Chain A
């Protein structure tokens, strides 16, 4: 095999890849570096600079000491809020999406394609368009400014995606499995529970990762429907920048941003390989 590692085109390709990656990662690098510098150090120098000595105090302050919207408990309570919204909404939307995807892909009934079409139409509606309807719904059922309200929104909004993912996965499952089970005497839910769900590992991982990152990172609903102590961390981060408007606290802000991003980062690191594998996984043999 000829050694082509020093071919000019190769070098060009690597150079381009390196530049793109550097541009992509630059903001992250700045944030990470700033989170490790003291406020004085940033104030004396510039926003961009190497930490003179590593300081972890920003993280401690961001986590539990800093004042956000007149409460001085850091972002910890808001992280908890985000978890209380994200975890149930991820579980509910994934399970309901799996059942819906199973129903529209493996059971024929009148109007099945219409129902699937309408559910997935939700993917194409801009988020802003749904704000007003949700406001009315949440007001009428008394869930404005509650975490339960956000769980409801994310569960229902998530259904479009989870149904699409699961349906496209289940379509590859041979219909003969369902027929055999029907002759064996199993009903809709027994077939789902005993036959379909055990085959669903890859797609459930994909759906859970997708839903978790999207709901955790979601900002618009959080900032619109909750205030003060009820806000998820993404909304609270904005309140944090507002609170430090007079004296910039870039170090603490950077640390808070990194803490807020950690859960999705961890999910990706733990499940990323399944995610890629699941997206490309084909039929169940």
Chain B
């Protein structure tokens, strides 16, 4: 059953179209992440799903019921906000029971529900405190408790981790994922952090300028980005992209970077049949940093493609070393083993994983193959 169906949805403020023809079908039990840069419309979309904002056109179905004209409280949803939005004058317990109080749930039932959620989130000792007496992580937990206690059809998370420091964010990320695995809830989660999207989602909707660029599982989004925007947005550092030409040789297509230059780079492509119509034309060549490694690396049983490339900059991070180099004159980042430190200004041998190259149409910016 689709927990959430969004069809032909658009939102316009005066002359500004912030959401364009959005269509999403989210299955029950899925963890869907809406990710995109700020201003892409992801939070507006979430607010429309919650009923806090109205769409200009289109329909929203939650659990098979059209909810366009249903008040937020009757949509069977719960929401966790970026600022947590805990009621400052109420204790943690009152914060959690406020929704039940509004719905006139009997006191005994409220107590049982609070007990259950407090145990699940390990916030029992905090129930008597005020939000101002809690740390950031504790507030986050209480905000989730307030959502969980409702046991809704759909959970909505609006950038819930962006107010936490880096270490706590990673912890809470794992905790939310664990919670999802345990209770199997349907979650729609908004973030601008592509790592959160990759690590938590069962499916990612990448948004940009008010439309969904790609809606797929994390591996697909990462491996086959639908267009240049997705390729450059997902992954850190992002995919290297550079202009190139596609040429035909006897045994298949070859991508040429920096054609005509002395350091021109020619890479044979295998299994890129979809690129055939682009032979003899310009393309955008894309390769992830981890597909460029030190010369001794092997990516598969085949012999790696080795290139000699000038090194411009070396950034050791401890876990790996990032190298800025030039491929056919175009800058590219490589991810090499931590103990490899090629000297800037010299040339070094790098191995390329040519099976994972992406080619994009320079005009439409869409993925060719």
- Chain B residues 332 to 357 lying within 8 A of chain A, measured CB to CB, are none
Let me know if B72 and A182 touch, CB within 8 A: yes
Let me know if B82 and A185 touch, CB within 8 A: no
Let me know if B102 and A184 touch, CB within 8 A: yes
Contacts of A190 in B (CB 8 A): 102
Let me know if A177 and B98 touch, CB within 8 A: no
Contacts of B71 in A (CB 8 A): 182
The answer to whether the Cβ of B62 comes within 8 Å of any Cβ in the partner chain is no
Let me know if A185 and B73 touch, CB within 8 A: yes
Bin chain B's interface residue count: 20 to 34
Q: Which of B50, B77, B99 has the most CB atoms of chain A within a 10 A radius of its CB?
A: B99
Let me know if A285 and B89 touch, CB within 8 A: no
Interface 1/0s, chain B 42-79, versus A by CB < 8 A? 00000100111000000000000000000111000111
Let me know if B85 and A177 touch, CB within 8 A: yes
CA distance A181 to B102 in the complex (A): 9
Contact residues of A: prevailing secondary structure: helix
Let me know if B89 and A198 touch, CB within 8 A: yes
CA distance A250 to B103 in the complex (A): 66
Q: Which residue of B lies closest to A200 (CB)?
A: B89
| Given A174-B85, A177-B85, residue A185 in contact with residue B79 (CB < 8 A) | no
Contacts of A199 in B (CB 8 A): 88-89
Interface 1/0s, chain A 189-202, versus B by CB < 8 A? 01000110011000
B115 to chain A: closest CB distance in Å? 19
> CB < 8 Å: which of B47, B85, B89, B103 contacts A180?
B85
Contacts of B73 in A (CB 8 A): 182-186
| Given A174-B83, A190-B102, A285-B132, residue A183 in contact with residue B50 (CB < 8 A) | yes
CA distance A284 to B82 in the complex (A): 16
The answer to whether the Cβ of A10 comes within 8 Å of any Cβ in the partner chain is no
Let me know if B87 and A195 touch, CB within 8 A: yes
Let me know if A177 and B87 touch, CB within 8 A: yes
> CB < 8 Å: which of A185, A198, A284 contacts B102?
A185
The answer to whether the Cβ of A179 comes within 8 Å of any Cβ in the partner chain is yes
Given pairs A177-B87, A179-B50, 16 additional interface contacts (CB within 8 A) = A176-B83, A179-B72, A180-B81, A181-B87, A182-B73, A183-B50, A183-B52, A184-B99, A184-B102, A185-B99, A185-B102, A194-B87, A194-B90, A195-B89, A199-B88, A285-B88
Let me know if A181 and B89 touch, CB within 8 A: no
Contacts of A284 in B (CB 8 A): 88
- Give me the interface of A with B, judged by CB distance under 8 Å: 174, 176-177, 179-186, 190, 194-195, 198-199, 284-285
A186 to chain B: closest CB distance in Å? 5
CA distance A82 to B81 in the complex (A): 49
User: Can you report 17 residue pairs joining A to B where beta carbons are below 8 Å apart?
Assistant: A174-B83, A176-B81, A176-B85, A181-B98, A182-B52, A182-B73, A183-B50, A183-B72, A184-B73, A184-B102, A184-B146, A185-B103, A186-B73, A195-B87, A198-B89, A199-B89, A285-B88
CA distance A190 to B87 in the complex (A): 13
Q: Which of B72, B78, B82, B146 has the most CB atoms of chain A within a 10 A radius of its CB?
A: B72
Q: Which of B79, B82, B103 has the most CB atoms of chain A within a 10 A radius of its CB?
A: B79
Contacts of A177 in B (CB 8 A): 85, 87
- Chain B residues 119 to 153 lying within 8 A of chain A, measured CB to CB, are 132, 146
- Give me the interface of B with A, judged by CB distance under 8 Å: 47, 50-52, 71-73, 77-79, 81-83, 85, 87-90, 98-99, 102-103, 132, 146
Contacts of A195 in B (CB 8 A): 87, 89-90
CA distance A182 to B47 in the complex (A): 12
CA distance A185 to B105 in the complex (A): 12
| Given A185-B102, A190-B102, residue A179 in contact with residue B81 (CB < 8 A) | yes
Let me know if B99 and A179 touch, CB within 8 A: no
Let me know if A186 and B81 touch, CB within 8 A: no
CA distance A184 to B87 in the complex (A): 11
CA distance A44 to B79 in the complex (A): 81
CA distance A199 to B87 in the complex (A): 10
CA distance A184 to B50 in the complex (A): 11
Let me know if B79 and A180 touch, CB within 8 A: yes
A32 to chain B: closest CB distance in Å? 44
Contacts of A183 in B (CB 8 A): 50-52, 72-73, 77-79, 99
Contacts of B103 in A (CB 8 A): 185
| Given A179-B81, A182-B52, residue A194 in contact with residue B88 (CB < 8 A) | no
CA distance A198 to B51 in the complex (A): 26
Q: Which residue of B lies closest to A180 (CB)?
A: B85
Let me know if A179 and B79 touch, CB within 8 A: yes
A198 to chain B: closest CB distance in Å? 3
Q: Which residue of A lies closest to B99 (CB)?
A: A184
CA distance A180 to B83 in the complex (A): 11
Contacts of B47 in A (CB 8 A): 179
CA distance A194 to B83 in the complex (A): 19
Q: Which residue of A lies closest to B77 (CB)?
A: A183
Contacts of B83 in A (CB 8 A): 174, 176
